[in-house]
Amino acid sequence: MPLPSCSENPNKLLSVNRLTTALQSGVAIVDGISFEIAAGETFALLGESGCGKSMSALSLMRLLPDGVANTGGLVVLGAVDLLGLPEREMRRVRGGQLAMIFQEPGLSLNPVMTVGAQLAEVLRLHSPLPLPSPPAPLPLAGEGRKAPSSLALLPVGEGNVEARCIDLLAQVGIPDAARRVREYPFQMSGGMKQRVMIAMALAGQPDVLIADEPTTALDVTIQAQVLQLLRDTQARTGMAMLLITHDLGVVAEMAHRVGVMYAGQIVEQADRATLFAQPLHPYTQKLFTAVPDASRRNQPLSAIAGAVPPLGSIPQGCRFAPRCDQAWALCESESPAWTEVRAGQGVRCHLYVETGREKREGGRENPVTLPPPSPFSLSPSLLQVTDLQVHFPIRKGILQRTVGQVKAVDGVSLEIAPARTLALVGESGCGKTTLGKALLQLIRPTAGSVQFAGQELIDTPYKHRAAMQMVFQDPYSSLNPKMRIAEILEEGMIPARGRGETLGLRGAQPSPPTPLPLAGEESYSKGRAARQAQIDLLLDQVGLARTSKWRYPHEFSGGQRQRIAIARALAVSPQLLICDEPTSALDVSVQAQILNLLKSLQQEFDLAYLFITHNIAVVEYLAHDVCVMYLGRIVERGTVADVLRAPKHPYTQALLSAVPRITGDRSELIQLAGELPSPANPPSGCHFAPRCPQVMPRCHIVYPPVTQLSHEHEVNCHLYTS
């Protein structure tokens, strides 16, 4: 059987041939994958969670968990077979010739060692020249030397360890590296911890770098800086890179060649331009059509039904057949061989062999249509927020006296009309989630007004609680693991009924459940039966089987758990849903399912959404209006067309310039200086002034007033004041 491989290149650094990794029971997790990476080349491994991407990386590093082992194949780095090395020799390779950036930096960094000590440890193990042991003391805060502006690595020698640690942190864009080198991981943000991980990986000057979802948890601005750093390092050193991701925009920006992985196998492989122009495998095609953007606003995304088959239940024949709308009998009985369709592009699919060519146009199609988006509404606002503030006191001393305030939300005003979606975008730490919780009175506002349907909520925290519901970012932590789905959904119905509020979705056919009695088993049973019927309706609405209500949260996939969270919110007939990053942790295919669901529910029940996100593509697809938030304040607002097509505020322009797109036509990146300031000590004047590339003297003196650019577009920026 011919193998998928990169084009033959004498400069290849890493060659993987039929690599197989399996459990002790013999169940394969990675099943015969093959690829090559040349010097200076980036090979992207693309696919959904559960496809085996991260396990492939751990197999190359020989860092497999207990009960999992490499059972076949070759992994050749340079001229050395890594799978045949004794563990003592392999330890010299890890971090030196072969390095890895792990997906979770918070779990990969040692919490009881400073970042400088962890960097020095890598240098001692993998530096070509002898190093002092123990390393010289690291400098005190403020005593560091000036960081170099270039990415060149200094030669490591006697007495140079602390300087090299500072240089490495400066190279990955950490400000004030001389001070940060003495800090512990918990003192850094998620983006900074990821940069420390990158610095540790680059410290050994590796020939091959494995980057496992290096930007998944980062804002788009930080993501753009990290990707640029990797590109610059690669161009300077000729380092090869294996990039593991499910983000097609990152693949379009970074990769030279791409391997698409599904259920432990590589099902398609080609160079980036060929794959993006003409994807062959039905799975690859589905991944591309599942990506949200403005061009698909009036049509549903192409979600992939089902899920990646779990270990031990791989179907006979093609592994993608149960989810493929072009499958036929042969796909269910015979596993497809690898087929070279053209030079440099191969695929594992029956559609591209002689027996299957006539079937290419005969696939099953089940199109779903959505009604067009609701037009702009001039109806009264459902939610009106005016000058909302949420300040948290900073207390010190034995008496816990208040010495300052963390201004998480600092004077926010916004409106949401019925059946409209307002997207709230901005970097992590700008106050988006705090604002969402304050609207629901889950956090007590300090000042301001929140009116829902014309009635004030600040002094009546439980009023309209059922009409406003929240879908949290992590459904697993927001669902009680000890309760079955029926109990989770019913839990919200009982107190709602006790307050005399209407149960169920608007327009639902079954009669409302009877009031809960104070006593009497028979009456309670009737009420419970009505609630169970309502639960069945809810599960139908969110696309889950009715029988699933007797299962626990851990028995569902991430996308299914998010559907359950949405069903729980809908159980009390809300008019407004606050969605806090509901798709940030999901694969593109599962994200498409959730976005289709939210859009169809809005059209059917006139729901209004406050959608908190940093994913601009989701905003383009789902939202009607958008507010851009920076350090507790709204800096620009308007319709999606106005703000995303013609951004005016320098911060909005920087955000949009950092968004990777699958078309590869991203505008020139606008680099922002420094980090997001602390809300405990915001800058005077315009909060964005210290990082703004267009700053003026008055920006440091007074905060800019609102400038009305059009009827629906306004901005807070001195560039547009007279």
Helix (H, G, I), strand (E, B) or coil at 447: strand
Read off the pLDDT of each residue in 499-517 and give the average, rounded to a whole number.
39
Instruction: Classify strands 455-456 and 80-81 as parallel, antiparallel or unpaired.
Output: unpaired
Instruction: Classify strands 42-46 and 240-245 as parallel, antiparallel or unpaired.
Output: parallel
Number of H-type helices and E-type strands within the chain? 21, 24
Spell out the alpha helix ranges (H) of 542-659.
558-570, 588-605, 616-622, 640-645, 650-657
Q: Considering only CA atoms, which of 354, 359, 357, 336 is closest in space to residue 2? A: 336
Lowest-confidence segment of 55-64, 345-354, 665-674 by average pLDDT = 665-674
Share of the chain above pLDDT 90, in %: 42
The answer to whether residues 168 and 202 touch, using CB atoms and an 8 Å cutoff, is yes
The pLDDT assigned to 667 comes to 66
How far apart CA 308 and CA 267 sit, in angstroms, is 13
Residue 150 pLDDT > 50, yes or no? Answer: no
Residues contacting 389, CB < 8 A, separation 6+: 407, 409, 410, 411, 412, 445, 446, 447, 448
The pLDDT assigned to 509 comes to 37
Lowest-confidence segment of 182-191, 261-270, 708-717 by average pLDDT = 182-191
The pLDDT assigned to 526 comes to 56
The pLDDT assigned to 522 comes to 45
Read off the pLDDT of each residue in 282-301 and give the average, rounded to a whole number.
87
pLDDT class for 5, splitting at 50, 70, 90? very low
> Taken in order 631, 583, 604, 371, is the CA torsion positive or negative?
positive
Q: Which residue has the higher pLDDT, 636 or 169?
A: 636
Q: Tell me the per-residue pLDDT of 100-117, one tens digit each, with 9 for 90 and over.
A: 998 777 778 999 999 999
Residue intervals of the chain classified under CATH 3.40.50.300 are: 12-97+246-359, 383-467+619-720
HEC assignment per residue over 133-152: CCCCCCCCCCCCCCCCCCCC
Q: Which two tokens stand for residue 282?
A: 């039905």
The pLDDT assigned to 99 comes to 93
The pLDDT assigned to 6 comes to 41
Q: Considering only CA atoms, which of 690, 691, 698 is closest in space to residue 720? A: 698
Q: Would you tell me which CATH number, out of the four given (2.30.30.140, 3.40.50.300, 3.40.50.10490, 3.40.50.10600), belongs to the domain 12-97+246-359? A: 3.40.50.300
pLDDT class for 622, splitting at 50, 70, 90? very high
Residue 368 pLDDT > 70, yes or no? Answer: no
The pLDDT assigned to 356 comes to 45
Residue 310 pLDDT > 60, yes or no? Answer: yes
How large is the angle between the packed helices 558-570 and 485-498, nearest 10 degrees?
Answer: 20
Q: Which two tokens stand for residue 290?
A: 């599942």
Tracing tokens 């319709």 back to the chain, one arrives at 639
DSSP states along 96-120:
TTEEEE-S-HHHHS-TTS-HHHHHH
Residue 426 pLDDT > 60, yes or no? Answer: yes
* 379-388, 569-578, 643-652 — most confident range: 643-652
pLDDT class for 372, splitting at 50, 70, 90? very low
DSSP states along 235-268:
HHH--EEEEEES-HHHHHHH-SEEEEEETTEEEE
Q: Tell me the per-residue pLDDT of 202-239, one tens digit each, with 9 for 90 and over.
A: 888 899 999 998 887 677 887 888 888 888 889 888 99
Q: Which two tokens stand for residue 607?
A: 């729901």
* 48-57, 68-77, 399-408 — most confident range: 68-77
Residue 715 pLDDT > 60, yes or no? Answer: yes
pLDDT class for 516, splitting at 50, 70, 90? very low
Radius of gyration of the chain (CA): 27
pLDDT class for 500, splitting at 50, 70, 90? very low
Residue 478 pLDDT > 90, yes or no? Answer: no
pLDDT class for 37, splitting at 50, 70, 90? very high
Q: Considering only CA atoms, which of 603, 656, 522 is closest in space to residue 297? A: 603
The answer to whether residues 18 and 73 touch, using CB atoms and an 8 Å cutoff, is yes
Q: Which two tokens stand for residue 474?
A: 């992590």
Lowest-confidence segment of 251-260, 266-275, 456-465, 516-525 by average pLDDT = 516-525
- For residues 608, 610, 611 and 617, what is the CA-based torsion angle, rounded to 10 degrees? 70
How far apart CA 527 and CA 514 sit, in angstroms, is 5
pLDDT class for 137, splitting at 50, 70, 90? very low
Q: Which residue has the higher pLDDT, 665 or 377?
A: 665
Q: Which residue has the higher pLDDT, 272 or 11?
A: 272
How far apart CA 120 and CA 487 sit, in angstroms, is 52
Lowest-confidence segment of 30-44, 376-390, 521-535 by average pLDDT = 521-535
Residue 422 pLDDT > 90, yes or no? Answer: yes
Residues contacting 18, CB < 8 A, separation 6+: 3, 32, 33, 34, 72, 73, 74
Q: Which residue has the higher pLDDT, 451 or 589?
A: 451
The pLDDT assigned to 360 comes to 43
Tell me the residue type at 689.
A
Tracing tokens 């709602």 back to the chain, one arrives at 496
pLDDT class for 156, splitting at 50, 70, 90? very low
Instruction: List, in sequence order, every residue forming a beta bridge with 405; answer none if it has no partner.
Output: 393
Which letter does DSSP use for residue 82 in this model?
A: G
Residue 498 pLDDT > 90, yes or no? Answer: no
Residue 375 pLDDT > 60, yes or no? Answer: no
The pLDDT assigned to 205 comes to 87
The pLDDT assigned to 722 comes to 67
3-state helix vs strand vs coil in the chain, percent to 5: 35, 20, 45
Residue 464 pLDDT > 90, yes or no? Answer: no
Read off the pLDDT of each residue in 708-718 and give the average, rounded to a whole number.
94
Residue 515 pLDDT > 60, yes or no? Answer: no
The pLDDT assigned to 378 comes to 41
Q: Would you tell me which CATH number, out of the four given (3.40.50.300, 3.40.50.720, 3.40.50.1370, 3.30.465.10), belongs to the domain 383-467+619-720? A: 3.40.50.300
> Taken in order 83, 13, 192, 255, is the CA torsion positive or negative?
negative
Read off the pLDDT of each residue in 417-432 and give the average, rounded to a whole number.
91
Which letter does DSSP use for residue 351 in this model?
A: G
Q: Is the pTM of this model over 0.75?
A: yes
pLDDT class for 399, splitting at 50, 70, 90? confident
pLDDT class for 50, splitting at 50, 70, 90? confident
> Taken in order 108, 114, 119, 122, is the CA torsion positive or negative?
negative
Q: Side-chain half-sphere of 541: how many Cα atoms within 13 Å?
A: 29
Q: What is the mean pLDDT of the chain?
A: 82
The pLDDT assigned to 25 comes to 87
Residue 85 pLDDT > 50, yes or no? Answer: yes
Residue 358 pLDDT > 50, yes or no? Answer: no
The answer to whether residues 184 and 113 touch, using CB atoms and an 8 Å cutoff, is yes
